[in-house]
Amino acid sequence: MTTIFTIAQNWLEQDPDLETKAELAQLIDNAKAGDENALKELTARFDGRLQFGTAGLRGRLQAGSMGMNRVLVAQAAGGLADYIKQYDHNAPSIVIGYDGRKNSDIFARDTAEIMSGAGIKAYLLPRKLPTPVLAYAINYFDATAGVMVTASHNPPEDNGYKVYLGKENGGGQIVSPADKDIAALIDKVAAGNIKNLPRSQDYVVLDDQVVDAYIEKTASIAQEPRTDINYVYTAMHGVGYEVLSKTLQKAGLSQPHLVKEQVYPDGTFPTVSFPNPEEKGALDLAVKLAKKQNAEFIIANDPDADRLAVAIPDAKGNWKSLHGNVLGCLLGWHLAKKYHAAGKQGVLACSLVSSPALAEIAKKYGLQSEETLTGFKYIGKVKGLLFGFEEAIGYLVDPDKVRDKDGISASVAFLDLVLYLKKQGKTILDYMNEFNREFGAYVSGQISIRVSDLTEISKLMTALRNNPPSEIGGFKVTQFIDHLKTERNNDILVFTLENGSRLITRPSGTEPKIKFYLDAKGKDALDADNVLAQFDESVRALLRREQYGKQDC
């Protein structure tokens, strides 16, 4: 009988990392000595394995098959290499990038060695760089695949492994069934020993040619007449600053005031409790600097710079972050007007949990609109895409360059919008008010319920599915869609109300949470806020009802 000690010892013997090797050895020794907590921890470390899915891998940096470490990454690289060779029989190739998190560079080099050892042409980006540079490099080199080692805006103790497919797949993130096929090949590699995987140093460490090409193309987004802009930027301890600064210089745009404590990569993220610019408190240092400099606005990237957050002062001078739906619609409106003036046809796309206002923008300017499943892996695959966004502050403003969200390009597009408004003597706040007059005031909210037992999520989804409410907040539900019964075949429920509001619920794909997305529409901003507050309260009351499990919300 295979015991937990046999499994752990086998893993230990494969581990090339001194830190995780020592950590696991100590855990094994303590468990064997009768330490019950150590035995419990050891069992948890090998209770299955970190699952490879459409988001690749993402998890805590720790020894064992349930953590991100060099053994697990080598297994993933070996399985992915087998998939790439099956997928591309002629000249398989891959580009590999990494951010500033702990071990990102090590995981990237391990991957490059294993790919090269498998006979795959491997290109390694020259240093810590944003995820969108990696996404761009895949198509730049016409590579078969790409890997970005990043955990995006996850907590400091995490890391991840994001996989892309190039050539006819367009360079976007993997979607099903590729994830399942790759996972099956990873399992085959994991059944053996990573020491048996051939490795080679014959991979190419790239120079700045591809980075410079990305910068030049991104700089071309800025088209409005240049004038001074007074604003603040934070990289959130990530890798965005260098590329953004060079892009601004290339475009002739004003450089920002920098939150110096957060401008350079630091995988410990010392000034924030959670390195996500959406999180409360994450922009505190930026706001402090903005007040000192009397800045017009703040822009922030997340740690791998594929997302953009914007904050502005309201009429009373209080700084507030723009919701991802608001910024997405402002950018979409600005670009739609440009495309319409140029006579260009195409699609404005967003995830189905993002604002329905984007469809109204598309309709006004004679463009098509599309809602996709959640995630840029789906948005990036939309044919004829002109612009795409998701409410989680992800934007794609130049899909001819990359097929993934891009916080650098979105920053330049936003600055171009600011310049467009400046020549008319307007601010972003003015533009938001114009949008409300043109399309109605849309506001969004979210309720997240974290669970300790994942079965609680399925129970609640089943209850809502089998016994859907006929009214919410005094308004009738005029349409109920269960996407398990549509061609999307996804665990998502949509409730549309007679007043134009909408509730969408789905399990989180990355956390033990169930999420409720609320979209409310009003005559003006104040009315919309009131509608949202009423909507939020009624949804929480609904979830506390007996038939829905008395949720704590």
User: What element of type H or E holds 75?
Assistant: helix 70-87
What is the predicted pLDDT for the residue at 117?
98
pLDDT digits (tens, 9 = 90+) for 367-392: 999 999 998 999 999 999 999 999 99
Q: Is the peptide bond between 277 and the residue preceding it cis, with omega within 30 degrees of 0?
A: no
For CA atoms 413, 414, 419, 420, the dihedral sign is positive
pLDDT digits (tens, 9 = 90+) for 342-367: 999 999 999 999 999 999 999 999 99
pLDDT digits (tens, 9 = 90+) for 406-437: 999 999 999 999 999 999 999 999 999 999 99
Buried b / exposed e along 410-429 (16+ C-beta atoms within 10 A) = bbbbbbbbbbbbbeeeebbe
What is the predicted pLDDT for the residue at 53?
86
Q: Average pLDDT, stretch 13-30? A: 97
Three-state secondary structure call for residue 287: helix
pLDDT digits (tens, 9 = 90+) for 392-403: 999 999 999 999
Q: By C-alpha distance, which of 302, 304, 303, 339 is closest to 324?
A: 302
pLDDT band for 104, please (50, 70, 90 cuts).
Answer: very high
Joined together, the tokens standing for residue 102 give: 């702990």
Amino acid at 91: A
pLDDT band for 545, please (50, 70, 90 cuts).
Answer: confident
pLDDT digits (tens, 9 = 90+) for 114-140: 999 999 999 999 999 999 999 999 999
pLDDT digits (tens, 9 = 90+) for 434-489: 999 999 999 999 999 888 888 889 999 999 999 999 998 888 999 999 999 999 99
DSSP-based helix, strand, coil % in the chain, nearest 5: 40, 20, 40
Residues identified as active-site? 152
* Angstrom distance (rounded) from CA 288 to CA 101: 26
Q: Which domains does the chain have, with CATH numbers?
A: 1-47 (no CATH), 53-207 (3.40.120.10), 217-439 (3.40.120.10), 440-548 (3.30.310.50)
Average pLDDT of the chain, as a whole number: 95
What is the predicted pLDDT for the residue at 550?
57
* Angstrom distance (rounded) from CA 183 to CA 204: 26
Residue 456's Cβ-count burial label (10 Å; 0-12, 13-18, 19+) is: middle
What is the predicted pLDDT for the residue at 212?
98
What is the predicted pLDDT for the residue at 522?
85
What is the predicted pLDDT for the residue at 52?
94
Q: Average pLDDT, stretch 86-90? A: 90
pLDDT digits (tens, 9 = 90+) for 307-333: 999 999 998 889 999 999 999 999 999
Q: Does the pLDDT of residue 546 top 90, yes or no?
A: no
* Angstrom distance (rounded) from CA 242 to CA 336: 30
* Angstrom distance (rounded) from CA 446 to CA 428: 24
pLDDT digits (tens, 9 = 90+) for 135-190: 999 999 999 999 999 999 999 999 999 999 999 999 999 999 999 999 999 999 99
Q: Does the pLDDT of residue 78 top 60, yes or no?
A: yes
For the chain, percent of residues with pLDDT exceeding 90: 87
What is the predicted pLDDT for the residue at 1?
42
Of residues 535 and 82, more confidence is placed in 82
Residues 6+ positions from 94 with CB-CB distance below 8 Å: 84, 115, 120, 121, 122, 123, 143, 144, 145, 146, 147
